[in-house]
Amino acid sequence: MFKGETCVKIKNRTFLDGGYDVLKDSVRYALIFYVLLAAFQWLFEPKILWINNIGLAVLAMFIYLLLEWLIQLYRNKKNQK
């Protein structure tokens, strides 16, 4: 961490000290989302739309990262009061 910087732990994770865990979790959730999309398309559709699934998985990863970042900002502001 940088001098004078504070960071709040979220589920034993921090963005400054353990940001790798948050990134690892987001990739894990995106892969699970990708596999589930492909499985549902394989079961219920005549063909699998691979490019669409990849795009949606990447979007899911960025949404997860955004939500984790917003939670961290909220908790930082809450702890400053």
What's 18's DSSP letter? S
Which residues, in sequence order, are CB contacts of 63 under 8 Å at separation 6+? Answer: none
pLDDT for 1: 44
> pTM for the complete prediction?
0.68
Q: Which residue's structure tokens are 């589920």?
A: 11
Q: Rounded CA gap, 40 and 21, in Å?
A: 28
CA 42 to chain centre: 25
pLDDT of residue 34: 95
Span 15-36, pLDDT tens digits: 554 556 888 888 999 999 999 9
Phi/psi at 13 (5° precision):
-125, 150
Residues in the chain: 81
